[in-house]
C-alpha cells in the first residue's frame, strides 16, 4: 500500500498545489490560461514529437495493444451516448458530449506520470503508442458523431471539412504527425535542436499537472448528479474493465497490458469539457465529470494498480 501511495499521491499533490494556489488567489486565473496554453500547445506537443520520432513503430504499434485500449474507449463512447439518450432522456447533442466523456481518458496528464512512477520510464513506450492516435481517433469519432446529429445526415462534404480542419489545428496532433514523419523518413535531428526539445519536455508534465489543478477549481459540481455518476462510472470502471478483458484475451505482454489498463483507468480528460464547450452541449456534466472523476480516480487508480500483475 505504501508503494502505491508513493506512486499516486505525488501526481495528485501537484494537481492539489495548483488548485490551492488558484483557489487562494496566489496564482491568477490568467496565469492558468497561459500555463495550459504553454503545456498543451508547446511543451506536450514537443514531448509527443520527441517520443513518437524515436519510437520503435514495429515493436510498439502492436495491433493487440491498440485494439485492447480502443475497444474499451469506443465501448465507453457507445454506452455513454446510449445511456444518456435512453436512461436520462438527454438531447442527441448532449448524448454525444456525454459519450465523449467515456471515450477520452486523461492519457497525457495522468496516464503518463502515473505509469512512469509505477513502472519506470522504460514502461512508457506502449503509452506513447496509444497516445499517438488518441487525439486523432477520439476527436475523429466525437466530431463525426456530433456533426451527424447536428446536421441529421446533411452536408457530408461540409461536415468532413469541418472535422479535418478541427483535427489538424490541434497542436497535439501536429506534434504527433511531425514525429511520425521524422520517424518514417529517418531524418537526423541536430543535437542542439533535440537538447532544446528536452528542456521543453522536462517542464511539460509538472506544469500541466499544476495547471490542471487550477482549471479544476473553476468547476463546481451542480445538478445532473446521476448523469455525472454514470459518466464517471463509464470512464473509471467500464473502459479499463474492457481493456483488461481484451488484453487478457489477446495475450498482451505484461508491459503492454499494464499501459493499456492504467491509461484506460484514468479520469476523463479536460478535452471532454473542451469538446462539450465547443458545441455548447452538456457543459455542466462534462466539467463536473472531469472534476469528480479526477478526485475519484485517486481511489480507483489505486485499486487498478493493486490488482495489475
**Chain-centre distance of CA 116, in angstroms?**
16
Residues with Cβ within 8 Å of residue 23, at least 6 apart in sequence: 217
User: What is the model's pLDDT at position 184?
Assistant: 87
Q: Please tell me the predicted confidence (pLDDT) of residue 5.
A: 64
Across-strand partners of 105?
Answer: 268
Q: So what's the pLDDT on residue 233? A: 97
Model-wide pTM > 0.85: no
The size of the chain, in residues, is 309
d(CA 30, CA 119): 35
- What is the per-residue pLDDT for 219? 67
pLDDT at 247: 97
pLDDT at position 100: 97
Q: Classify the C-alpha dihedral 39-96-235-22 as positive or negative.
A: positive
pLDDT recorded at residue 197: 92
What is the chain's pLDDT, residue by residue, as a tens digit (309 residues)?
555 566 677 878 888 899 899 989 999 988 988 888 898 889 888 988 888 888 777 767 889 999 999 999 999 999 999 999 999 999 999 999 999 999 999 998 789 889 988 898 888 889 988 988 887 788 889 878 887 887 765 556 666 776 677 667 778 788 888 988 998 898 888 989 999 999 998 888 888 888 888 877 876 666 688 999 999 999 999 999 999 999 999 999 999 999 999 999 999 987 787 788 778 888 888 888 988 898 898 889 989 999 998
Beta-carbon contacts of residue 300 (< 8 Å; ≥ 6 apart): 236, 237, 265
Residues 159 and 146: their CA atoms lie apart, in Å, by 10
For residue 220, what pLDDT is reported? 64
Q: How much is the pLDDT for 162?
A: 67
The whole-number pLDDT of residue 54 equals 81
User: Class of the 2-307 domain?
Assistant: mainly alpha
pLDDT tens, 178-232? Answer: 988 998 898 888 989 999 999 998 888 888 888 888 877 876 666 688 999 999 9
* Residue entry with cell 487550477: 214
Amino acid at each position: 500500500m505504501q508503494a502505491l501511495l508513493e506512486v499516486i499521491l505525488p501526481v495528485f499533490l501537484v494537481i492539489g498545489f495548483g488548485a490551492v494556489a488558484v483557489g487562494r488567489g496566489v496564482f491568477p486565473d490568467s496565469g492558468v490560461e497561459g500555463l495550459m496554453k504553454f503545456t498543451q500547445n508547446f511543451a506536450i506537443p514537443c514531448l509527443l514529437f520527441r517520443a513518437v520520432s524515436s519510437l520503435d513503430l514495429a515493436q510498439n504499434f502492436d495491433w493487440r495493444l491498440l485494439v485492447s485500449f480502443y475497444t474499451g474507449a469506443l465501448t465507453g463512447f457507445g454506452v455513454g451516448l446510449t445511456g444518456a439518450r435512453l436512461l436520462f432522456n438527454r438531447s442527441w447533442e448532449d448524448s454525444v458530449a456525454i459519450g465523449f466523456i467515456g471515450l477520452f481518458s486523461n492519457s497525457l496528464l495522468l496516464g503518463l506520470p502515473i505509469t512512469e512512477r509505477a513502472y519506470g520510464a522504460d514502461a512508457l513506450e506502449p503509452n506513447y503508442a496509444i497516445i499517438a492516435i488518441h487525439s486523432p481517433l477520439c476527436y475523429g469519432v466525437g466530431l463525426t458523431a456530433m456533426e451527424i446529429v447536428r446536421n441529421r445526415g446533411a452536408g457530408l462534404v461540409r461536415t468532413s471539412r469541418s472535422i479535418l480542419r478541427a483535427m489538424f489545428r490541434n497542436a497535439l496532433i501536429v506534434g504527433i504527425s511531425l514525429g511520425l514523419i521524422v520517424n518514417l523518413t529517418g531524418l537526423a535531428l541536430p543535437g542542439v535542436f533535440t537538447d532544446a526539445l528536452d528542456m521543453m519536455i522536462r517542464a511539460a508534465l509538472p506544469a500541466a499537472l499544476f495547471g490542471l489543478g487550477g482549471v479544476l477549481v473553476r468547476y463546481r459540481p451542480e445538478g445532473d448528479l446521476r448523469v455525472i455518476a454514470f459518466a464517471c462510472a463509464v470512464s473509471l470502471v467500464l473502459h479499463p474493465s474492457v481493456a483488461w478483458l481484451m488484453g487478457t484475451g489477446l495475450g498482451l505482454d505484461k508491459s503492454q497490458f499494464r499501459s493499456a489498463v492504467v491509461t484506460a483507468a484514468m479520469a476523463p480528460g479536460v478535452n471532454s469539457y473542451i469538446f462539450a464547450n465547443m458545441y455548447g452541449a452538456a457543459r455542466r456534466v462534462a466539467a463536473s465529470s472531469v472534476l469528480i472523476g479526477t478526485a475519484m480516480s485517486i481511489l480507483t487508480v489505486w485499486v487498478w494498480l493493486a490488482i495489475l500483475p
